[in-house]
Chain A
Amino acid sequence: QKEVEQNSGPLSVPEGAIASLNCTYSDRGSQSFFWYRQYSGKSPELIMFIYSNGDKEDGRFTAQLNKASQYVSLLIRDSQPSDSATYLCAVRDNDMRFGAGTRLTVKP
């Protein structure tokens, strides 16, 4: 059984702080890793994807991948109240498996 694990939260950070979201996965053969954001009542939308070990930055978002530790994270710098949402980690080989999501609240 392929597993993708996330802390369900809620994770609460003050506006302007760094939010750190973590995800572990069980399938060592996984090749592609994704972070989706889902606002309440909406569909998931892609924020970042990463394929290689190391960091990948896109604006205020940084994805970090460590395949040896089977760990992927998402950092959100200068957090804004509009970042408040559930963040889903997804891992893909042939199919796509999602974690349960971490609920993030950014307080003004």
Chain B
Amino acid sequence: DAGVIQSPRHEVTEMGQEVTLRCKPISGHNSLFWYRQTMMRGLELLIYFNNNVPIDDSGMPEDRFSAKMPNASFSTLKIQPSEPRDSAVYFCASSPTNHEQFFGPGTRLTVL
């Protein structure tokens, strides 16, 4: 298996633009997690899905952030409009139910 796949690996955009991050989980994993990591705040859980259904989005910072999982093999995290304080590394992780998570390589987002 190729592991968790994320795209793009790097994204540089200007404030106010829409950003879409993509994730393909490991086949057979039914839980998917989106995290944000910064030096100041560490690794923060944004949202997670079980069987494509959002379970807890309490970590989503504000309405500018949205996430979808239209099927078991694909999820997106969208920021609209983006702001400089959104600059971070965004990780997607997947797991079988109640087991350890496997992380993707991350997307490094820079908002100018």
Residues of A within 8 A of B (CB): 31-32, 34, 42-46, 49, 88, 90, 92, 94-101
Contact = CB atoms under 8 A, between A and B. Distances in A.
Contact of B48 (A42, A44, A95, A101): A95
Contact of B45 (A31, A45, A96, A101): A96
Contacts, number: 43
14 contacts: A31-B98, A32-B98, A34-B101, A43-B105, A43-B106, A44-B103, A88-B43, A95-B48, A95-B56, A96-B45, A96-B48, A100-B43, A101-B42, A101-B43
Secondary structure of the A contact surface, majority rule: strand
Nearest to B50: A94
* 3 nearest CB pairs, A to B: A43-B103, A100-B42, A98-B43
Interface in B88-103: 91, 98-103
Pick from B43, B55, B103 the residue with the most CB of A within 10 Å.
B43
B55 A96 contact: no
Given A43-B105, A99-B42, A101-B43, 10 more contacts: A32-B99, A34-B100, A34-B101, A44-B43, A45-B103, A46-B102, A88-B43, A94-B56, A95-B45, A100-B42
B40 to A, nearest CB: 10
Contacts of A100: 42-43
Interface in B60-112: 91, 98-106
A94 B43 contact: no
B91 A43 contact: yes
Given A88-B43, A101-B42, A96 B91 contact: no
